[in-house]
Structure 1
Amino acid sequence: MNFKDQIATDLTVFINPNEFGDFHNVDGRRLLIVISKDATTGRQRKNSSDHYSMSEGIHTGTIKVYANASDFPDIPAADSFMEIDGELYRVVDCDNQMGVLVIDLEGNQT
């Protein structure tokens, strides 16, 4: 078994419903993914005319999603949108790391 074969085997452990993975509704499809909700940043005021960012009680929540690249026909593009379990997120970045998509998302939270 070479290194790439070992990585492919490890994916079945990481994105696994008995380990870290859970089934979620992603853009209308039931997919097995891992969600990391470890970062929430306050919404910054850019300038006085930026009314959206000045809304009281709103902050930007960021999450990372780990998914099998084979579950996505196209790699999500930056500034596109993704809906997960009824919540809309903006794709900040997406990287294919040896068959695992690491997707950085942000969305408004109250």
Structure 2
Amino acid sequence: MDFKEALKADLAAFVNPDEFGDEHVFDGVSMMMVVAEDENDETKLSTKYQLFMEDVFAKNKRLHFFDGLVPFPEVGNKVEFDGDYYYVISSSLNEGLVRVEITAHVT
């Protein structure tokens, strides 16, 4: 097994429901992913968004899921996650795993 094959095996274990993965719905597609949450945390927003949202609290989530399940989420797009709407504040693709940071205002 070469390095890339070992990395793919590790990623599969990372998203596995017996490890860190849970089933969620992202833009209408049910999939296994790893989710990290930050409630009422305005410091996690990018500098671009902080300028517009001073003193506004947000719920932020970092999502990790396999590429190809949904169209790549672009920064600034509105997305649906588990029935709630969020905005994409960052997204990246690394070795077949998509990392997306989303935010929504807390009312």
- TM-score band w.r.t. shorter chain: 0.7 to 0.9
Residue 19 of structure 1: aligned partner: 19
Q: SS in structure 1 opposite 2:68?
A: helix
TM-aligned CA deviation for residue 63 of structure 1: 1.1
The 5 Å alignment of 1:1-110 reads 1-38=1-38, 40-41=41-42, 53=53, 59-72=57-70, 74-110=71-107
Could you give the per-residue CA deviations for residues 86-106 of structure 1, whole angstroms, max 9, x where no partner exists?
A: 111101111001111010111
Distance in 2 between residues matched to 1:75 and 1:45, nearest whole Å:
24
Q: Taking structure 2 as the reference length, what is the TM-score of the superposition?
A: 0.82
Structure 1: gaps spanning 5 or more residues: none
* 2:22 partner amino acid: D
- For the 8 Å contact 2:79–2:88, the answer to whether it is kept is yes
- For the 8 Å contact 2:15–2:65, the answer to whether it is kept is yes
Bigger CA radius of gyration: 1
Distance in 2 between residues matched to 1:97 and 1:45, nearest whole Å:
26
TM-aligned CA deviation for residue 11 of structure 1: 1.3
Identity %: 25
Give the length in aligned residue pairs.
102
Distance in 1 between residues matched to 2:58 and 2:3, nearest whole Å:
38
Q: Taking structure 1 as the reference length, what is the TM-score of the superposition?
A: 0.80
Q: CA RMSD in A?
A: 2.5
TM-aligned CA deviation for residue 38 of structure 1: 3.3
